[in-house]
Amino acid sequence: MKVSILIPVYNERTVVERSLSLVLAAPLPENMDRELIVVDDCSTDGTYEILQRLAGVHPAIRLFRHDVNRGKGAAVRTAIGKASGDFCLIQDADLEYDPSEYPQLLRPLLAGYADAVFGSRYLAGEQTRVLMFWHSMLNKGLTLVSNMFCNLNLTDMETCYKAFRTDLLKSIPIRSDRFGFEPEITMKCAKRKLRVYEVPISYHGRSYEEGKKIGWKDGIKALAVILRFWLIDDLYTSPYGRGVLNNLTGTPQYLSWLARLLRPHLGDTVLELGAGIGALSGRLMSRRMLYVAAEKDPLHLHALRNRFLRTPNVSVRAIDPAETADFDGLEDSFDTVLCLNILEYLDDALPALRRLREVLKTGGSLVVLVPQSPSLYGKVDRAMGHRRRYRAGEIRRLLEENGFRVERRHDLNKAGAAAWFLFGKVLGRERISKPALKIFDKTVWVWRRIDPLLPWRGLSHIAVARKT
């Protein structure tokens, strides 16, 4: 097991050697190795020459350099890309934070309780240097505003000491180049519903005379970052498998519309394939049913387990619809199988439909949702990894060939078909813009009422079929 210690550095000639020596000597949990990912952000005071000498002496130090000064966030982003450890821990090079406290930061991660750990300078129990009143008030004020927008109860959002599971951290896009990294990563942890823990740490802050760099202007920018990432659901690195579907988490009214259509077809035992991060599962499951949320993506599985950790009637299972072995032991187990936005990703849908028939009880229902109308296939589909769009008659034929009787069909989201054609075919875009999705979601109450009246095909097609 290994921890990657991410160290952004800029003009710290007087303290960087001592700082790295403390990091190299810091205690770690038993059987844990370390690597130091040091990113020099184009220092101009001789810092880089010191770092080169230290990297030549200590194999644990991996040194990288920016050609121009880009800011702390950019340096951390570079370091994340180079990290190879199981966990990542961020360490400034200015000696304000004590590396001897690494074990307590890593403990919740190693125990499996946490996905991210923040070291708090304001929790009781550790020594803290008394410094400027207004600077502390600014930190606490930013934490309060951040908590209001991301619905967490942190005591220190602006802390440098943050530790993460590396696989999760690498999947989060970092857009901020300067000190906006702190509120951005906090907001995205909250929106991704990661398990965030806080532990008390000591703090030996510097004054501005001693070299402190962050100022009140950065506080104003932090407020803008909080607002920006509250409005924008930029949660997964791109391209990231089916991560683009997580835009749907920002369309709650559309999801409620879809859930309203699906709910009457659910039995007492339900399997949902491709559950993603559980946005639809949370609306469909109820206490009266046993619900299995299935995913093949490791990060989505992790999000599902977090979300339904204390929901006893919901279980999470790793299932790849293309792998026969993943369905072993599930034969004749479910009253309902939800196959929503799955078939369009497969090279051949027939084997998957045969497996779904096997896990259904006799008389059970299969609910299939697929993108409709091959004429709409364009850049948006290709960016999402769609192999095809289906005709309604084609889906009916596939289901009947696999021993199902189609009992109901429904065209969904005819208004969305026009937007899909505009963005994917006319404008040649690879995605529908987030503002357009937001506007659509805010007007769903109109579209769902006029949907049956519109004369063209819907963007998606729902087929409800029974196992004969």
Q: Residue 371 region, left (φ>0) first, then alpha (ψ -120 to 50), else beta?
A: beta
Residues 218 and 257 in one domain: no
pLDDT above 70 (res 216): no
Residues 136 and 281 in one domain: no
C-alpha atoms less than 13 angstroms from C-alpha of 355 in its C-beta half-sphere: 22
Q: How far is CA 106 from the centre of its chain?
A: 21
Distances in whole angstroms, Cα of residue 128 to Cα of each of 101, 108, 435: 14, 22, 44
Contact status, residue 36 vs residue 20, Cβ threshold 8 Å: yes
Domain that includes residue 322, residue range: 241-467
Residues 152 and 266 in one domain: no
Mean pLDDT score, 224-242: 74
Residues 406 and 363 in one domain: yes
CA distance 180 to 188: 12
CA neighbor of 163 nearest in space, from 95, 88, 79 = 88
Predicted pLDDT at 210: 46
CATH number at residue 414: 3.40.50.150
Residues 192 and 316 in one domain: no
Residues 260 and 181 in one domain: no
Other beta carbons less than 10 A from residue 311's beta carbon: 16
CATH number at residue 93: 3.90.550.10
- The total number of structural domains in the chain stands at 2
Per this entry, what is the length of the chain?
468
pLDDT above 90 (res 317): yes
Residues 191 and 94 in one domain: yes
Mean pLDDT score, 381-387: 84
- 426 DSSP assignment: I
pLDDT tens for 325-364 read: 999 999 999 999 999 999 999 988 999 999 999 999 999 9
Residues 311 and 359 in one domain: yes
pLDDT above 50 (res 73): yes
Strand locations in 209-286 (E): 269-273
Residues 444 and 325 in one domain: yes
Predicted pLDDT at 32: 93
Sequence-ordered list of residues with C-beta below 8 angstroms from that of 201, at least 6 positions apart, any chain: 97, 98, 101, 104, 105, 119, 120, 121, 126, 159, 161
pLDDT above 80 (res 301): yes
Sequence-ordered list of residues with C-beta below 8 angstroms from that of 36, at least 6 positions apart, any chain: 5, 7, 20, 23, 24, 58, 60, 61, 62
Helix, strand, coil percent content, the chain, rounded in steps of 5: 45, 20, 35
Within-domain flag for 414: yes
Predicted pLDDT at 128: 59
Mean pLDDT score, 139-167: 90
Within-domain flag for 346: yes
**pLDDT averaged over every residue in the chain:** 87
Within-domain flag for 14: yes
Domain boundary among 231, 249, 269: 231
Within-domain flag for 236: no
Within-domain flag for 389: yes
Distances in whole angstroms, Cα of residue 37 to Cα of each of 40, 51, 171, 250, 375: 10, 11, 18, 35, 49
Contact status, residue 319 vs residue 296, Cβ threshold 8 Å: yes
- 268 DSSP assignment: S
Weakest mean pLDDT among 11-15, 251-255, 313-317, 345-349: 251-255
Predicted pLDDT at 239: 46
Within-domain flag for 315: yes
Within-domain flag for 32: yes
Residues 142 and 221 in one domain: yes
Residues 190 and 284 in one domain: no
| Two structure tokens written together for 66 | 């920016």
CA neighbor of 376 nearest in space, from 446, 461, 438, 442 = 461
Per-residue pLDDT band for 112 (boundaries 50, 70, 90) equals confident
Predicted pLDDT at 208: 44
Residues 181 and 283 in one domain: no
Domain boundary among 231, 249, 268: 231
Mean pLDDT score, 391-402: 91
CA distance 316 to 249: 19
Distances in whole angstroms, Cα of residue 97 to Cα of each of 15, 62, 128, 245: 13, 21, 10, 39
Contact status, residue 310 vs residue 282, Cβ threshold 8 Å: no
Within-domain flag for 50: yes
Domain boundary among 171, 204, 231: 231
